[in-house]
Each structure stands twice: as C-alpha cells, then as structure tokens.
Structure 1
Amino acid sequence: MCWIPPPQAVYKLNYDVAVFENSASSEFGAVIRNTTGEVMAVMTVKGLAIQGSEVAELLACRKALEFAIDAGFTVLIVEGDNVKATRCIALGSDIQSAIGHVVSDIRHLLGAMEWASVSCTKRNGNRVAHVLARNAQNVNVDLFWMEEVPSVAIEYVNIDASLI
C-alpha cells in the first residue's frame, strides 16, 4: 500500500486478542475512537481455539475490520500490538502460508476503505482493546456498543483520555 495523507475525519481502530488455554478459545476486542479520543464503537467477541499468537492476532484484526466497516467507519488507523502480524498485514507477506487467506481477507477489507493505515502500537497503547478481549471469556454472545463503553473498560478509556 502506498501512503496517502488521510482525510480530515480519521478514526483509530485498536484490536487485540486473548487466548485462553484452559477454555480452548480465543476472544477478540476492539475499540474505535475519534481524533479527540472519544469512544465511537466497541466490540467484545468470542473466537475459536487458535494455535499461535500471530494467527490469533490476524483473526482479531479481520473481525475488528468487519465490525468497523459494518458500523460505517471507512477512514481508519488500524493498530494492533503484535509486530509480526502487523508486518504481515502491511506488507502482504505470508500470503502463500497457511494463514495467507486471513492476510488476504484483511488486505481486501483495507482496500475497500476510503483510507487506511496499519501500524503496531506498544502493549500499553492497546489496553482498552486488550481488556475487551479478556472480557469476552465472561460472556456467551458477541457484544457491540456504539458511542458507549462497557463498565469493564471505562477505567482504561479514562487513563487513555488523560494522556491525550
């Protein structure tokens, strides 16, 4: 992807995954914020049992992008905290591997956007998405919020807001 300056209204999508060995499942979390840090949309979703953190991160990214597109966001900075997964997405590498179809799906979703940028963030820059992913272990259905923050993530949203 070549870099083109973003339009005025850019949103940031942070996603993460939590893998629980004892329950043989993975959980995905994502948060979409505007340029002032206000939460626009949130998801916490159950996933399948997954081997490998990169595969889990890629699946979380794909689910988060599907959520963002369904919610009407087409101008995004997409951030995850796994360097290898982020590199695969940005460069389109590993497309010939067993996870190549997931990378291709993600790149297809990004290509359908008006504008998108993919980058890696430090783990402490991804706290809200991480706590949302961990919370999915406690629910039986996929949960989505618009312009609302579930109680489990409010503390981390407030911490992030104080850093802006």
Structure 2
Amino acid sequence: MVCRDSEGNLLAALGQKVGLVQSVEMAEALVARRAVVFARELSVFEVHIEGDCHCVIQALQASDRCYTLYGHIIDETKRLGSLLRRCQFQHVKRDGNRLAHGLAR
C-alpha cells in the first residue's frame, strides 16, 4: 500500500503478506483494514483509501452492516475509520492502483 499527501507526493509505503485467504474480496478487505491502521500509525487522520475491488469498496461506503464472509472485516474497518477525522473509500480502476500493485509483487 502507498500513502500520499494531498499533492500526490509519496509519504510512506508498506508491503505485507496477507497469508492464505478464501477470496480476492477477503484479501482486499484485509488490505483496506490495514490501510486504516497504517494511517493511524502514521498519525494521519484524514485519509482517502482507494481500492480496485468494486464490491469491497461498495461495502465500505455503505452505511449498513455487511453480511458477506468478509463482512466482519468490513465492519471493523468502518469502525476504525470512524475514529479518524475523515476516512473515505473510493473505487479506482486497476491502472490507478499501479504503484501499489507493483509493490505487492
């Protein structure tokens, strides 16, 4: 994952193994949760988290609970995000996530 400032400058990057997961959606949900935790570790309290898994981003944007296999992770991510001053989730195409995907490899 990559952390940038409001002007797009690179502030920090983190690569971490997720381990065995049941689905791509589960992996993306775990990464989103780690992104929120990473922001808190960096003392960044206004974050804009982008992801390329549309169903995970939709679940993170929804106001109601998530009842999928990864719903507990979504709900925890939203709870952790609510502790920040501002936490927004946005879907981006995979091309918009190129640097993060490069680091993941």
Q: Max radius of gyration: which structure? A: 1
Write 1 or 2 for the structure with the bigger share of strand: 1
2:18 is matched with 47
- Corresponding position: 1:102 with 2:69: no
Moved over 3 A (4+): none
| Percent identity of equivalent pairs | 29
- Corresponding position: 1:34 with 2:8: no
1:146 is matched with none
Normalised to the residue count of structure 2, the TM-score between the two structures is 0.92
Kindly report which structure 2 residues correspond to 1:1-164, keeping only aligned pairs within 5 A, or say none.
Answer: 30-92=1-63, 95-134=66-105
1:87/1:93 contact within 8 Å kept: no
Normalised to the residue count of structure 1, the TM-score between the two structures is 0.60
Alpha-carbon offset, residue 97 of structure 1 = 3.1
Moved more, 55-64 or 95-104: 95-104
Q: Deviations over 1:5-24 (max 9, x none)?
A: xxxxxxxxxxxxxxxxxxxx
Q: Distance between the aligned counterparts of 1:35 and 1:98, measured in 2? A: 34
> What CA RMSD, in Å, does the superposition of the two structures yield over aligned residues?
1.4
1:54/1:82 contact within 8 Å kept: yes
Q: Deviations over 1:64-102 (max 9, x none)?
A: 211111111110111001101100111155623332210
Alpha-carbon offset, residue 111 of structure 1 = 0.3
Write 1 or 2 for the structure with the bigger share of helix: 2
Q: Deviations over 1:31-64 (max 9, x none)?
A: 1111221101110001110121111100111112
